[in-house]
Amino acid sequence: MRPIPSFSLHRPKTLSEALELLQALEDARPIAGGTDLLVLLRDGAVSAKHLIDLGGVHELQYIREENDEIRIGAATTHAQLLRSELIAEKTPLLHEAAASIGSVQIRNRGTLGGNLCNASPAADTAPPLLALNAEAAVASTGGTRIIPLGDLFAGPKMNSLRPGELLTEIRFPTPPAGSGTSFQKLGRRRGLTLAVINVAVYLCLEGGVCREARIALGAVAATPIRMPAAEEMLEGRQLSGELIEAAASACRDQVRPIDDIRASAEYRREMAYVLTRRALMDAWERARRDTL
């Protein structure tokens, strides 16, 4: 096995220290859990002279609710997401996505920020957060900017962060009463598997009518994506099995998957229909229960 090329490791204790190091050092990269980055360094897919370890920056590890918004620090691990009662109760789809990631060891080390910044089209936390209408807080020594989460993804394994920037927080509105969500993932086996395709749905009902629908899919395009045409088909309408099938078909038409080692494009397109229909039915059922 190829050894990982040598690098200098820096261990800041605060966010401002981390940002200053990232700004000052040439050829520096942040590292959180290292579960993606160390593999890429070993394979020579990326290089770095300096790694800035975010593991000791405790101000980037939190999950809290403030003014009807849920805020999650970028260095929060998947295991911490799983242990959060707030996440399990208010955003079960994110809990389900975190539970599906890798193994106990990967969930203990891997972080939400790393999963998003690695920008894999198949990242499991991306569709749930897109469906929750999440925004990303991005900081540099010059200040903080807020971007829609979708703008963080620039292409396969490419994020849109500028040199010297760190993802610091993910935030989204707390789902209101009458909403229901679902996360569905298909892998090549039941556990410890990357997604062949993953789907997240958020529905908000009012008197049986769908007030808001958000559908996001992963591993079907160059980045995780929302499905606006299918969402529009549902919004303002009384939901039914037929309408849900039609929206799921629209997703099959919109996706642009590729053939790769995990599945063919044709199979992924068909599974986009199957998993979206399943996610919509599940979210609809949960939303109806929430309104009782």
Ligand X SMILES: Cc1cc2nc3c(=O)[nH]c(=O)nc-3n(C[C@H](O)[C@H](O)[C@H](O)COP(=O)(O)OP(=O)(O)OC[C@H]3O[C@@H](n4cnc5c(N)ncnc54)[C@H](O)[C@@H]3O)c2cc1C
Which amino acid belongs to residue 111? T
In the bound state with ligand X, the residue whose beta carbon lies nearer, of 29 and 278, is 29
In the bound state with ligand X, the residue whose beta carbon lies nearer, of 203 and 219, is 219
Min dist. Cβ of residue 44 to ligand X (A)? 14
The helix/strand/coil state of 256 is: coil
Q: Estimate to the nearest angstrom the gap between the alpha carbon of 157 and the chain centroid.
A: 13
Min dist. Cβ of residue 276 to ligand X (A)? 19
In the bound state with ligand X, the residue whose beta carbon lies nearer, of 117 and 239, is 117
Could you say which of 12, 28, 34, 269 contacts ligand X (CB under 6 A)?
34
In the bound state with ligand X, the residue whose beta carbon lies nearer, of 114 and 180, is 114
Q: What is d(CA 66, CA 76) in angstroms, rounded to the nearest whole number?
A: 17
**Residue 12, interface with ligand X (CB under 6 A)?**
no
Burial class (CB in 10 A: 0-12, 13-18, 19+), 77: buried
Min dist. Cβ of residue 224 to ligand X (A)? 10
Spatial strand order in the sheet of 143-148? 63-66, 69-73, 166-173, 135-140, 143-148
Q: What is d(CA 22, CA 289) in angstroms, rounded to the nearest whole number?
A: 48
Q: What is d(CA 57, CA 14) in angstroms, rounded to the nearest whole number?
A: 5
Instruction: For residue 106, give both structure tokens.
Output: 């990967």
Min dist. Cβ of residue 122 to ligand X (A)? 6
**Residue 115, interface with ligand X (CB under 6 A)?**
yes
Could you say which of 21, 63, 74, 98 contacts ligand X (CB under 6 A)?
74
CB 137 within 8 A of CB 167: yes
Q: What is the DSSP letter of 268?
A: H
Min dist. Cβ of residue 63 to ligand X (A)? 15
Instruction: For residue 243, give both structure tokens.
Output: 């309408």
Footprint of ligand X on 46-65 (CB under 6 A): 54
Residue that is written with structure tokens 């039915």 in the block: 281
In the bound state with ligand X, the residue whose beta carbon lies nearer, of 114 and 150, is 114
| Residue span 132-161 as binding mask against ligand X, x where in contact by CB under 6 A, dash where not | -----------------------------x
| Residue span 173-212 as binding mask against ligand X, x where in contact by CB under 6 A, dash where not | ---------------------x------------------
CB 283 within 8 A of CB 215: no
What are the residues binding ligand X (CB under 6 A)? 29-37, 39, 54, 74, 100-102, 106, 109-111, 113-115, 117-118, 123-124, 161, 166-167, 194
